[in-house]
Amino acid sequence: MLQLRQLTLTHWIIAVNTAAFLLSAMLSGSLWSISIQTLVDLGANYGPYTTDGAWWRLLSSTVLHAGAIHYVFNNAVLYQIGGIVEQLVAKSAFLLIYILCGIGASATSLYFNYGVVSIGASGAIFGLFGFFAAMLTTDMLRPAVRKQFVKSIGVFVLINLAIGMVGPIDNAAHLGGLVTGFLIGLLCLPLVRKRLYRAMATHAEAATDNQEPIAND
């Protein structure tokens, strides 16, 4: 079992999402389908309310989910991509990136879907994919590894966008988060590169120190 000091920011974000989901389920009386009114009351991104001074909804909407399936899927993906991105930047930077991606996603949704109630962490999650995609434009990863990540991210994005064409999914938020994360990633490239090279140097130094001396006969 993880101790508190072992918890990453990704774990804490998932914990906040979980608390918000349980609260909304309790107020709505259902785990599978949270009522729209409950979501709006708890901070969903809804144009007429958000632009009437409730700008905090751009962020609060990212911790709300429409039901158990929506909640489980988003947080399972967040656990995976969050764990990767969190190793590339400092903790404070990771939290800022996640928040900015969430706000960017919500702002895009607000512009294109003004009268739609928008909720979910997927916009911020797409932002993390966008951030990591920016890393793939460099030579920091081996070509074979980079190619595999590009393929995986591409498949994930295309499948989700395709589903959004036929279902009640906010593709505007997804694309807004993706672009926001990618742009932030490009800006952060020098910092990430420096952090990775420093980690590699530390690892190499530790490996050298741990080598046993070879005795000559």
CATH of residue 71's domain is 1.20.1540.10
Tell me, yes or no, whether 211 lies in a domain.
no
Tell me, yes or no, whether 161 lies in a domain.
yes
Tell me, yes or no, whether 168 lies in a domain.
yes
Active site residues: 122, 174
pLDDT digits (tens, 9 = 90+) for 154-175: 777 777 767 666 667 888 999 9
Q: Residue 146's domain spans which residues?
A: 4-198
Tell me, yes or no, whether 12 lies in a domain.
yes
Q: What is the pTM of this model?
A: 0.85
pLDDT of residue 217: 46
Tell me, yes or no, whether 117 lies in a domain.
yes
- Tell me: pLDDT of 115 over 50: yes
- Tell me: pLDDT of 61 over 50: yes
Domain count, the chain: 1
Tell me, yes or no, whether 216 lies in a domain.
no
Rounded Cα distance between 168 and 116, Å, is 10
Tell me, yes or no, whether 80 lies in a domain.
yes
- The H-or-E segment that residue 187 falls in is helix 171-209
Tell me, yes or no, whether 204 lies in a domain.
no
Phi, psi (degrees; rounded to nearest 5) at 187? -70, -30
Contact 101, 123 (CB under 8 A): yes
The gap from C-alpha 20 to its chain's centroid, in whole angstroms, comes to: 17
158: Cα within 13 Å, side-chain hemisphere: 6
User: Angle at which helices 91-112 and 171-209 pack, to 10 degrees?
Assistant: 170
pLDDT of residue 202: 64
pLDDT of residue 105: 97
Rounded Cα distance between 124 and 113, Å, is 17
